[in-house]
Structure 1
Amino acid sequence: MEKNKTEIILIALAIIAFAFRFYLMPSHLFFGPEQGRDFLVIRDIVVNHKLTLIGSKTDIMGIFHGPIFYYLAAIPFAVTGGNPLGVSAFFIIIQGLTVFLVYQLTYELTKRRRAGLIAAILFAVSFLFIVYARWLSNPPLSIPFSLFFMLFLLRYVRGKSWYLVASAFAYGLLGQAEFINFLLFAAIGLLTCLMFWKKCIRTKLVIVVTAFLVGLVTSFATYILFDARHDGLVSRGVLDLIQGKSGYQLYLSTSTAGAFRVLLEQAAAIMGLSGWVAGLVVTVPLMPVLFKRMKRDASLSILALWIWVPPFIFAILRHGMLEQLYAGVIGGFIILLALAIDFLWEKKTVIGVASLVIIVVLSVTAVFRNLPGNYQVFFQAPQPAVRYSDQLAVIDWIYMQADGRQFSFQAYTIPYFLQDAWVYLLGYYGQKNYGYLPDDQGRKRMYVVIQEDTLDPKFQKKWYRETTSVWGTKTNQARIGNYTVEEWAL
């Protein structure tokens, strides 16, 4: 009976999670240059059967993420005919279903259903996890993959030896989602084995070898094949990083401060708060609870490793910090928060319930306060006013003005001059609905889309003065959301 009740609650929480993650979709779907780039690759996979061995590039020369995001996205892409909203919905569903995984890991860590349900509730309504779910990109996959890895690792150290193979597979998926995960979770896994070395050394050789082979193939098979065809490009990129020829940009003190600052900001954002100070205020009281629980069950120490090993690694790397580098880590904070609330609940029910209610209210308030204007949405911070619905409206306006006549197209984008989003949408939406694509040959008119640039308006004015304004004569214009659309006779 208790199990059935738990399952019903989890199903209800998954539905709630879906509702929050689909809030204001499709109008607020962010489809920027990186999404356009990815969709052009996915289209090649589905339509042209042009397979790829690597994913998108990282910010370090010669190093790429794995292609798992592309191949997963190819499934809804093929089903929906390349509809970005359909692909986004596919990944949102994956993130929503992660509620069950959060519950299971928390339950197995604590052996307490209440703690598992608290974690599931927090995950379902967490502002930060809702933001990640709405990001049509590869880093959010680190969230479910990290939970799988930690669940399998926990089962392994508790005596279920064959879960070492499962954790090796999950490790490969983590690295395929974000390249940095190879380093982060290798360190977490190795430190866990050192901490539980008596159990690890009793693992049968056949299990160790199988896990090694599974991890090797899942993690690096695509990279090895890619390197063989491209003169060791990725290997040279990794070697340059190790030797300090790339990636190392900051003083150790600066990188340390940055690594912990961003981690604390992410901890605060889980509850809809902002700033590292709020994260510090939240995190500091949680650690004594974890240490107290660790005295009862040493396997809970993997939770501490999960949260605190990554910032030390980032500090040593001395590379500039991005929020998404912690995508595979933030799941640990949800569980830590659930542990603390369950601890308070155990001491005095009213305090535990009140703590949970306050955090839920903070998170839900942040959703309705921030998402309509895309405030505190880190991946859209430079361009919060960009809307997928406006992009489609721009394309409709252009084709209606063209009235079947050929035209050329140009756009001012952020980052500058990356046209991939418009290239894809003109193919998916424009050609699909109006029957033809822009063509620079024999053109007599051009449509220019100008995205408002609040960060560098002087550069935008200079660009307009030196390019668009000398191309011809402006004959019409419209303002659609964040975009100015101009028609020019050439």
Structure 2
Amino acid sequence: MSIKNLSVFFPVFNEEGNIENTIENALKVLEKLKLEDYEVIVVDDGSTDKTGKVADSLAKQNPKVRVIHHPKNSGYGEALKSGFYNAKFDTIVYTDGDGQFDFSEVNKFLEKIETNDLIIGYRIKRRDPFFRIFFKKGWKLTLLAFFRLTLKDVDCGFKMVKRKVLEKIPRLESSRGAMINAELAIKAKKAGFKIGQVGVNHFPRLSGKPTGANFNVIIKSYLDLIKLWWELKDNKTLFLCLLGIILLACFLRFYKLSGYMTFLGDEGRDAIIIKKILTEGDLPFIGPPTSVGNIYLGPFYYYMMTIPMAIFWLNPTAAAGMDALIGVATVMLIYYLGKIWFGRASALIAAFLYAISPVNIIYSRSSWNPNPAPFFSLIGIWGCYKAYQTKNFLWFILVGAAAAAALQMHYLVVLLIPIYLILWFFQYFQKKGRNILTGSLGAVIAFWAVMLPFVLFDLRNNFLNFRAIKKLLFDHQAVEFNPLGILVKVPGLYFNNLIGRYITAENLILTAVVGILILLPIIKLIVQRFKGKEMEWSLFALAVWLVIGLVGLSLYQSSIYDHYLGFLNPAPYLLLAASLNLVRVPTSHVGIRLLFWTAVPVLLLALTLVNLQKNPLVYPPNNQLKRTQDVAKFIIDKSEGRSFNFALLAKNNYDSTYQFYLDLYGHKPKPVPAEKTDQLFVVCEDPVCDPTHSPKHEIAAFGWSKIEWEQEVYGVKLYKLIANPSGRP
């Protein structure tokens, strides 16, 4: 053992029943260590019992024991600081004075301190009340989130530290609570010191009461944590910019959500299905129908909707709120990936532009199954990156699950599968990675596990979707491989549908500039490949994502709508971040540098202006949800408590929204002709309606009828039809 001198201290507060035993045991252990010298410090933190007197008595009996008295209770943190900064030797160890640790285990620390600067104990089995253990679990997760601190038990009251650590790191500031332990570890880690861990036994308290987990201490610890986090935070200005972007994204997605959200037939259909799940336990194995080929999606989006609509009982705004929250999370993911790949400043610009894009805002403000596709696409790309970064194929399990979730948002998301496969092969052929077989099989299992309800549906229904997909692909109904067509269609998809619609608000000049700028990193990648240099993974992944996505979409023969590109739309934002990072120039080129730092703000300002001009919030809200609710209540009032039939006349809508609320309000319309009543309420959303002569099934099946009254209600026309067997007016 190379340690010759050792300072030991014990922070105590009202430990008169434990302190004498603790000190005497420590002295016995220290004598056996054959040290040249040692000291034992008792830090009495303003005890109100006889702790101080017992400690003074021990100091009189042994000159190696000394006592530091605090005039009042200042908290655990102040007690530790008194011990740290009053110790005289180069190696310092402390443990709590309540006797819950066996000081003889200091040998474990002495063995490890030779190759480490700070040794932190972790309790092999805690002997604390449940509340303290519960708080510590939450505290550990908080430290992981704020500081990426992954220690097993940072708050364990048994540690050894070299004096040089305390001398180099900023002075410890925390006064109370667990934060003092975390602060020591965080600052030591940030300063580059080596941290080791050892397991120690933890025994039940024999006397006194614990003081470390009362409500005031917990609050103070979290306040200390926030203060420390801010003090150690690098690039505070950039962080405040990020916070501003997140708040802006939240505002643009949540402001008057119930007024602006779309609530038409598809949303009403989904709400009815969620109601059946929550009230009848009717779990669907199939999702919404697609617009082509009699193909259905999986039910994953319905399962997602169930959570918010269960919390905010059957409120469709909650489902829209879920999509809004996912939209904000997508902004944060773009920043996160952009930061680790291309730097904070470039990532902030990419996240900001994504946050203010009118198309992205629109698709984040309603509950619709294609809306989360960008989020799940990014999760898959992140999983591929983590597999590459950590050289661990187990991350592809996340990729498989994300791919299955994304595929159930929209059928064109199937194009993600070849993208993820290419990234898998890229890593595999570079022979970089472990757990290749386990991770790859796990990815396949995760994919089919998430797809399981969809698969079970097909098995029960004679492979309905499989046959429809086969027909779609091989009968050239909607997909056709034409090399010339690809060359013709890809530029338009790229500049008009992707860059123009999503980033530049269809401004032609900005579309050309940004479109070219985004291609620069791909050009760099090609140059790297021809020069035989190793390609940057991030640029390779984004290039594959963009190229495969555009080529795949070009094979689709029908019209391309904005939401078809949802799985692809994060890619150009990240490539823009890469481009901004790429065109930075050396400081010696002052003129070019000045041009760059002038051009970027001008471009950013122009993009901000054109996007904000088309922001959906500049228009009045559609109030579709409130209109539906009010019309449903009006019909119920006019039905006078009697059963009724219902029909909707609308070219761009169907009746599921009204059906949902009429049922929710306890007046579900009767179906015709099975349960024909004496009154039929017809809502007309078209400019011109002739309900008595409409061929719509719900009206025709009601039989000959005449209009008893008509009235304009909340922006729609409402008719009450009654039977008219004679057919005469």
- TM-score, length of structure 1 as denominator length: 0.84
Tell me which amino acid in the other structure corresponds to 2:250.
F
Tell me whether 1:134 sits opposite 2:365 in the alignment: yes
Instruction: Summarize the Cα distance change of 1:244–1:439 in structure 2 as closer, same or farther, 3 Å threshold.
Output: closer
- Say which SS state the counterpart of residue 259 (structure 2) adopts: coil
User: Deviation of residue 270 (structure 1)?
Assistant: 2.2
Alpha-carbon RMSD across the aligned residues, in angstroms, is: 3.2
Q: Is the 8 A contact 1:55 1:65 kept in 2?
A: yes
Tell me which amino acid in the other structure corresponds to 2:721.
W
Aligned pair partner of 1:447 in 681, 693, 715: 681
Could you tell which deviates more after superposition, 42-51 or 239-248? 239-248
Aligned pair partner of 1:306 in 529, 534, 545: 545
Q: Is the 8 A contact 2:359 2:501 kept in 1?
A: yes
Q: CA offsets, 1:198-255, max 9 Å, x none? A: 3257554433444343344245322322222112222222322332264348977667
Tell me whether 1:421 sits opposite 2:660 in the alignment: no
Instruction: Summarize the Cα distance change of 1:222–1:258 in structure 2 as closer, same or farther, 3 Å threshold.
Output: farther
- Inter-partner Cα distance in structure 2 for 1:438 and 1:233: 31
Tell me which amino acid in the other structure corresponds to 2:661.
L
Instruction: Summarize the Cα distance change of 1:212–1:413 in structure 2 as closer, same or farther, 3 Å threshold.
Output: same
- Inter-partner Cα distance in structure 2 for 1:243 and 1:136: 33
Q: Is the 8 A contact 1:255 1:318 kept in 2?
A: no
Q: Between Structure 1 and Structure 2, which shows a larger proportion of helix residues?
A: 1
Could you tell which deviates more after superposition, 15-24 or 134-143? 15-24
- Inter-partner Cα distance in structure 2 for 1:82 and 1:365: 35
Instruction: Summarize the Cα distance change of 1:439–1:129 in structure 2 as closer, same or farther, 3 Å threshold.
Output: same
- Say which SS state the counterpart of residue 285 (structure 1) adopts: helix
Q: Is the 8 A contact 2:299 2:454 kept in 1?
A: no
Could you tell which deviates more after superposition, 332-341 or 198-207? 198-207
Determine the structure 1 residue equivalent to 2:705.
Answer: 471
User: Deviation of residue 47 (structure 1)?
Assistant: 1.3
- Say which SS state the counterpart of residue 313 (structure 1) adopts: helix
Aligned pair partner of 1:322 in 529, 550, 561: 561
Could you tell which deviates more after superposition, 461-470 or 435-444? 461-470
Determine the structure 1 residue equivalent to 2:284.
Answer: 52
Q: CA offsets, 1:167-186, max 9 Å, x none? A: 2222222222223323x112
User: Deviation of residue 371 (structure 1)?
Assistant: 4.4
Instruction: Summarize the Cα distance change of 1:398–1:248 in structure 2 as closer, same or farther, 3 Å threshold.
Output: same
Tell me whether 1:486 sits opposite 2:725 in the alignment: no
- Say which SS state the counterpart of residue 347 (structure 2) adopts: helix
Aligned pair partner of 1:121 in 337, 352, 355: 352
Determine the structure 2 residue equivalent to 1:382.
Answer: none
User: Deviation of residue 52 (structure 1)?
Assistant: 1.7
Instruction: Summarize the Cα distance change of 1:258–1:245 in structure 2 as closer, same or farther, 3 Å threshold.
Output: closer
Determine the structure 1 residue equivalent to 2:649.
Answer: 412
Determine the structure 1 residue equivalent to 2:76.
Answer: none
- Inter-partner Cα distance in structure 2 for 1:443 and 1:20: 46
Determine the structure 1 residue equivalent to 2:274.
Answer: 42
Q: Is the 8 A contact 1:265 1:278 kept in 2?
A: no
Determine the structure 1 residue equivalent to 2:253.
Answer: 21
- Inter-partner Cα distance in structure 2 for 1:318 and 1:442: 44
Determine the structure 1 residue equivalent to 2:614.
Answer: 366
- Say which SS state the counterpart of residue 59 (structure 1) adopts: coil
User: Deviation of residue 327 (structure 1)?
Assistant: 0.5
Instruction: Summarize the Cα distance change of 1:412–1:278 in structure 2 as closer, same or farther, 3 Å threshold.
Output: farther
- Say which SS state the counterpart of residue 506 (structure 2) adopts: coil
Q: Between Structure 1 and Structure 2, which shows a larger proportion of strand residues?
A: 2
> 5+ residue gaps in structure 2?
1-232, 529-533, 586-592, 724-729
Aligned pair partner of 1:188 in 419, 430, 438: 419
- Bigger relative contact order, structure 1 or 2, given CA contacts below 8 A and separation 6+? 1
* 1:44-123 alignment, distance < 5 Å: 44-110=276-342, 112-123=343-354
Determine the structure 1 residue equivalent to 2:602.
Answer: 354
User: Deviation of residue 7 (structure 1)?
Assistant: 4.8
Q: Is the 8 A contact 1:475 1:489 kept in 2?
A: no
Determine the structure 2 residue equivalent to 1:226.
Answer: 457
Q: Is the 8 A contact 2:473 2:479 kept in 1?
A: no
Aligned pair partner of 2:629 in 392, 395, 415: 392
> 5+ residue gaps in structure 1?
374-384
- Say which SS state the counterpart of residue 371 (structure 2) adopts: helix
- Inter-partner Cα distance in structure 1 for 2:525 and 2:619: 36
- Inter-partner Cα distance in structure 1 for 2:644 and 2:583: 66
Tell me which amino acid in the other structure corresponds to 1:53.
F
Q: CA offsets, 1:43-82, max 9 Å, x none? A: 1111111112221122233432121110010011111121
- Inter-partner Cα distance in structure 2 for 1:262 and 1:308: 11
User: Deviation of residue 121 (structure 1)?
Assistant: 1.4
Q: CA offsets, 1:239-276, max 9 Å, x none? A: 22332264348977667755653443232122352388
Q: Is the 8 A contact 1:268 1:282 kept in 2?
A: no
Q: Is the 8 A contact 1:66 1:178 kept in 2?
A: no
Q: CA offsets, 1:130-184, max 9 Å, x none? A: 11102311111111111111122123234532322222222222222223323x1
Q: CA offsets, 1:341-379, max 9 Å, x none? A: 445566432322222222122222211576437xxxxxx
Determine the structure 2 residue equivalent to 1:377.
Answer: none
- Inter-partner Cα distance in structure 2 for 1:55 and 1:107: 36
Instruction: Summarize the Cα distance change of 1:74–1:401 in structure 2 as closer, same or farther, 3 Å threshold.
Output: same
Aligned pair partner of 2:262 in 5, 25, 30: 30
Q: CA offsets, 1:279-320, max 9 Å, x none? A: 455313321244236748521121111112122123335444
Q: Is the 8 A contact 1:266 1:279 kept in 2?
A: no
User: Deviation of residue 102 (structure 1)?
Assistant: 0.9
* 1:257-336 alignment, distance < 5 Å: 261-263=492-494, 264-271=496-503, 273-274=505-506, 279-280=511-512, 282-292=514-524, 295=528, 297-299=535-537, 300-336=539-575
Determine the structure 2 residue equivalent to 1:213.
Answer: 444
Q: CA offsets, 1:30-51, max 9 Å, x none? A: 1111111112211111111111
Determine the structure 1 residue equivalent to 2:576.
Answer: 337
- Inter-partner Cα distance in structure 2 for 1:370 and 1:194: 47
- Say which SS state the counterpart of residue 174 (structure 1) adopts: helix
Tell me which amino acid in the other structure corresponds to 1:298.
E
Equivalent pairs, count: 465
- Say which SS state the counterpart of residue 475 (structure 1) adopts: strand
Tell me which amino acid in the other structure corresponds to 2:658.
W
- TM-score, length of structure 2 as denominator length: 0.58
Work out which of the two has the higher radius of gyration on C-alpha atoms and give 1 or 2. Answer: 2
- Say which SS state the counterpart of residue 487 (structure 1) adopts: strand
